[in-house]
Each structure stands twice: as C-alpha cells, then as structure tokens.
Amino acid sequence: MDSVYSDIDSNSCDFFPHTDDEEDCASPEPEPQQKKRRRGRGQAVVHVVKKNRRVKANDRERNRMHNLNDALDTLREVLPAFPDETKLTKIETLRFAHNYIWALSETIRIADLQPGRPGDRPGDRPGDKTGDRTGDRPGDKPLLLGSASPGSDACSWSSSGSSSSSSPSYCASSPGSPAGTEDYGYRPQDALFGFRSFVPGVY
DNA sequence: TAGGCCATCTGGTCCT
DNA sequence: AGGACCAGATGGCCTA
C-alpha cells in the first residue's frame, strides 16, 4: 500500500513536527523572541540533502520490512494450515513455528528412544532426504493435529510487558523443552494442540 | 466504539 | 558517510 504520507513527503512538517524540516515549518505560533531565520543557499542545499537521505532511508526501511514480511509468509507456508485458513498474525506465526519445531524435535527424540524403532528403517531418520516431509502424508503419525484452530494466540502466554512476565510456561522457554514438561507425559502433539486453543469457544 | 494488527515514518545507534 | 537495525509514534483498517 502506498504510504499515507506519500502526498505529504513534500512537506513532512504537516505530520511530523519534529523532523529535520522543523526549521522550515514555522510553528503555527512562533515564539515572539524567535526571529524568523532566512535560509541561505547553503542551508537550503543541506536541507535538500537531508531530505533526500531521509527519503532513501524510508525506502530502505520499507524494503527491509517487506523482506521481513516475505520471510514471515514463507514461514507460514511451511507451517500446518488450519481449517478456517485464518492468516496467522506475525506473533502467532513466530510462536507457532517455535512450538512446531519443538514438537518435531520431540517426536524425533521419542522415536529414537523406542526399541526397534521405525527410525531404523531407511528413510525414517530425521536427516534422511529420502523420507517424506513430516505431515505431508495423511497416514503419517499424527504429529500435526490440524484440529487446533486459530483463535488469538499461539500458546498459553499473555505477552504482558516485561520479558520476565512475558515468559510463558511454554513458549519462551528453551526450544529444547518449551513446556518444561519433558518427562511428565507431555506429548509433542500437545504443543500443537496448544496452539490458539486457549481461546474460549475456539477449540 | 474500543482494541488488535499492520504499514509507514522517524531518529538514534551500531557497523562497515 | 552511508547502510542496517531497532524501537517509538502515528494513523488506517477490521472485528467483536
């Protein structure tokens, strides 16, 4: 979308009273003692240079954010989709990805612990390129419980302010054990079940 | 209408 | 010096 300011660029003081352009933007009621300074040619050049730099910086920043959003979209694509196809918000995407990665690694870990594990078969090892992507086949072990439906949050935390308080029992802990429940009967798929499932009426 | 999410602008800081 | 990154501010859009 075009910037709402695109029409304003030529006179940013309308919207950004504290910009470099401040000097040109005589405040509505200039202080009495303040004499209006006339800008000489040199100052005008400096002003134009500054403004150009700002415009370029804005452009770069916009591109940077677009790249970030593209990466986020790419991430959304590899995450399990949800029935109602509601697009995950940015924070939800990140939290869900975190949970998802953790669930996958837990699944691998548990599979490795099992005697005569299926992982002994070629193609079942985590790094085995011959294996299908987990979750691609309907018959796969139900790691991905797509029944978790979007609501408002990817996990059971409330991002309330400080980093300490925003440390959920689940999401912000180390990827190795997001829930801190490693040997308490916690199943990897619970990580995905937990997704957005704390919203009343959603799950 | 309030609240959530988002895009954009902006100035500061760090890095090359 | 200029670019990358970051966080704060602002305003638009959408939904409950």
Angle, nearest 10°, between helix axes A90-113 and A41-78?
40
CA dist., res. A136 & res. A144, Å (int):
10
Write down the number of H helices and E strands in chain A.
3, 0
CA dist., res. A75 & res. A65, Å (int):
15
Strand B: list positions under 7 Å from protein Cβ.
4-12
- Which residue is closest to B5 in terms of CA–C1' distance? A89
pLDDT of residue A110: 94
The nt closest to A64 (CA vs C1′) is C4
Q: Smallest Cα–Cα separation from A156: which of A171, A138, A142, A175?
A: A171
Query: Tokens 């059971």 — which residue?
Result: A156
Q: Where are the domains of chain A?
A: 43-113
pLDDT confidence of A82, banded at 50, 70, 90?
low
More confident residue, A125 or A60: A60
A43-113 homologous superfamily: Helix-loop-helix DNA-binding domain (4.10.280.10)
pLDDT confidence of A53, banded at 50, 70, 90?
confident
Protein side of the strand C interface (CB < 7 A): A 4, 15, 53, 56-57, 60-61, 64
Torsion of CA A81, A84, A89, A92, to 10 degrees: -60
pLDDT of residue A84: 63
In chain A, how long is the greatest CA-to-CA distance?
Answer: 88
With a CB cutoff of 8 Å and minimum separation 6, the contacts of A22 are A13
What is the residue-wise DSSP string for A74-105? HHHHHSPP-TT-PPPPHHHHHHHHHHHHHHHH
Q: Over the stretch A168-183, which tens digit does the pLDDT of each residue have?
A: 333 433 333 443 333 3
pTM above 0.75, yes or no: no
Q: Over the stretch A103-156, which tens digit does the pLDDT of each residue have?
A: 999 999 999 988 765 544 433 333 333 333 333 322 233 333 333 333 333 343
pLDDT surpasses 90 at A32: no
pLDDT of residue A63: 87
Round to a whole number and report the distance in Å from the CA of A172 to the C1' of C7.
21
pLDDT of residue A101: 94
Q: List the beta strands (DSSP E) in chain A.
A: none
| Both tokens assigned to A122 | 């070629």
pLDDT confidence of A192, banded at 50, 70, 90?
low
When computed from its CA atoms, the radius of gyration of chain A, rounded to whole angstroms, is 26
More confident residue, A142 or A56: A56
